[in-house]
Amino acid sequence: DIQMTQSPSSLSASVGDRVTISCRASQGISNSLAWYQQKPGKAPNLLLYTAFKLEGGVPSRFSGSGSGTDYTLTISSLQPEDFATYYCQQYYSTPYTFGQGTKLEI
Amino acid sequence: EVQLLESGGGLVQPGGSLRLSCGASGFIFHSYAMSWVRQTPGKGLEWVSEISSGGGRTFYADSVKGRFTIARDNSKDTVYLEMNRLRDEDTAIYYCTYGSVYAGSHDYWGQGTLVTVSS
């Protein structure tokens, strides 16, 4: 199984900050990586897929990069609605696996 | 508008069984693979199972293999998760999901149904 290691597990930031969240796969996943945002009591919401493609309706302040085993989610200028938990997930092969999550706090 | 509506969750004793259902609408159901993803209260996400569009191929997480069975009825636009020999650690919110571009990239999620395994 492919293990996904996400860092940091929590992050404190302020409105307007630029933040990055990292995700490392235990083997190459050929950009088969998705990023999700989850708010309390809600289902996860897909932000990006194929490592860098923005899902429809997602603000352009979200971006993704990386290749091989190492990937990054960047939020260019934090907005109040961005404080949530973020997960990466590989879909290169089953079992699909998620990172442990990054809680972004004010 | 895509809608995924899960049902069937509830309280069950360890060793018991439960069947979850997910009714789909708003897209061509028989054209897409469907998945179940679960989330332990206060914890992270775990992919559970996937079934191909025609139902001929199924995939499972190691933690549920041999105990859970995914199935679909394309005439009813419904996917099921039959859960047997339930354990305490199966307690979670179970989400029905699918990916409109890639099967494993879940852009649509249901609201979730809570399964509690406890004596």
Question: How many Cβ atoms sit within 10 Å of the Cβ of residue B80?
Answer: 20
Evaluate if residue A101 carries a pLDDT over 90: yes
Report how far residue B62's alpha carbon sits from residue B76's, in angstroms, rounded to the nearest whole number: 29
Contact A49 B45 (CB under 8 A): no
Contact B45 A101 (CB under 8 A): yes
Regions in chain B scoring below 50 on pLDDT: none
Tens digits of per-residue pLDDT, A20-58?
999 999 999 999 999 999 999 999 999 999 999 999 999
Of A1, A49, A94, the CB nearest to B101: A49
Contact A95 B95 (CB under 8 A): no
Q: Which residues from chain B sit within 8 angstroms of residue A43, using beta carbons?
A: 95, 109-112
Evaluate if residue A72 carries a pLDDT over 80: yes
Evaluate if residue A100 carries a pLDDT over 90: yes
Tens digits of per-residue pLDDT, A4-17?
999 999 999 999 99
The rounded Cα B62 to chain-centroid distance in angstroms is: 15
**Would you say how long chain B is, in residues?**
119
Report how far residue A1's alpha carbon sits from residue B86's, in angstroms, rounded to the nearest whole number: 23
Per residue in A24-61, is it b (16+ CB within 10 Å) or e — as a string? bbeeebebbbbbbbbeeeebbbbbbbebbebbeebeee
Which has the closest alpha carbon to A9: B16, B86, B44, B83?
B44
Report how many helices (DSSP H) and strands (DSSP E) chain A contains, helices first: 0, 11
